[in-house]
A and B are shown apart, each in its own frame.
Chain A
Amino acid sequence: MDFVNALVLFSNFVIVPALSYGSQLALGAIGVTLVYGILRFANFAYGDLMAFGTMFAILFTWFFQSIGISLGVLPTALLAIPFAIIIAILFSLLIDKFVFSYYRIKKSPPVTLAMVSIGVMFVINAVVRIIIGPFDRIFFDGQKFIMKANEFKEMTGLNEGLAIKSTQVLTLVVTIIVASILFWFLNKTKTGKSMRAYSDNEDLALLSGISPERVVMITWIIAAILATVAGTLYGLDKSFKPFTYFNNLLPIFAAAIVGGIGNPLGAFLGGYVIAFSEIVITYAYKKFFFYLLPESLEPNSLIQLLSTDYKFAVSFSILVIVLLFRPSGIFKGRVS
């Protein structure tokens, strides 16, 4: 029984949160990695693009709520996502046309483009804060829990409860749907294949008649979709605050690099690698061992490898370890 209790405790505080957080990172990391693979620069504005998309999801949610549309038990934000995506796509294409395309045509080095993306980051940062303000926004509605800790306890008679938030399940479901469509698109359709070809060898792809404008456009569209979906899911699960979205850029980048930058599947898995290590390492195992060990060995400290304040240190250490031992990432990406 104690073993089951320990397992439930571990699922409640580590596995379930890490799965949903990992999904959010994974979607974002695919976006970063696609931009890197095809446009060939590290887009520092991506975190703010996520905030931008989420902001519109929130605005549409408010709009739907004000005219009385809701999805019942599901959050209204789901209905708002498609509209937010359209705006995010238009915005990304606009930025590409007026900012990035110039440097792409000039074949500027990646560092210049990264620096330009910092300028874009400042601009989006300002736009988001001017429109919606820098404050915490909670825009979740509908049913909050699928299973409450108490219900679980009653149901199973265990000491530990397992709480599952509906946003966590929602995150997983949406991630599975979006990721399946995306990988189907990249691997099976002609456009997807042309994108991969462009990413692998630009010159060869151009010679075989792939239109670069089209590939770039589709990349931005996918990046904007992923940013909006990942951002909205994160916002639903936790809350929306522009500054947090900027900070999320770091684990997302770490996930993309760990997975081998330029490799979408790697980035997807990298998201979970980062999320799981962050939560596994910063979790306090006191109670976990309380169930597993005999009374005489019971720990009296928290048994926390690292305090939660240092979760950046986890991303960083994984990043450094991977870069030192497998510079192309765990799942072989582009090495240039």
Chain B
Amino acid sequence: MRFSTSLRELIGKRDFYAGGLMLLLGLGIAVKGSTYRGGTLMHMGPGFLPTALGIILVLLGIAIAAASLAGDGDGDSHGQSILPEQPQWWAWFCILMSPVAFIFFGRYFGMAPGTFACVFIAALGDKTASWKGTTILASVVTVFGVSLFSYFLQVPMPILTWRGEF
């Protein structure tokens, strides 16, 4: 029990994580950037600006996190959980998988199967989705989309193929 309350407290500190993420990102940018040639101020190398940006981002991250710890945050930052009230893990998964399905089916089977899979998987994320309704929606979008993009706009992607290009 104690664990769960402290966990809640932790994810309640939204700005702390916001600052932390910026700090890590900035650190990554700066470290990677310092491997490129920095050059002098007069003749700047490719690494100069990104490294500087990384350092600025680290400082901003520290400022954001410090403000949240000092209780001097946004005013709205406290009691703000990172997760929304009803986390939609399944829906989020579906939305992110939809482009992946488009890539896979589009690459190996063509535009029509890619479109169908993309819409079908995305639509499954809605909590009221039914197999029938989802299939109908995906079919309609496939017919409409393929005719628009393949015939009208001439996007060079085969409509139907079998393990086309590897």
Chains A and B are bound partners:
no
Interface residues of A (CB under 8 A from B): none
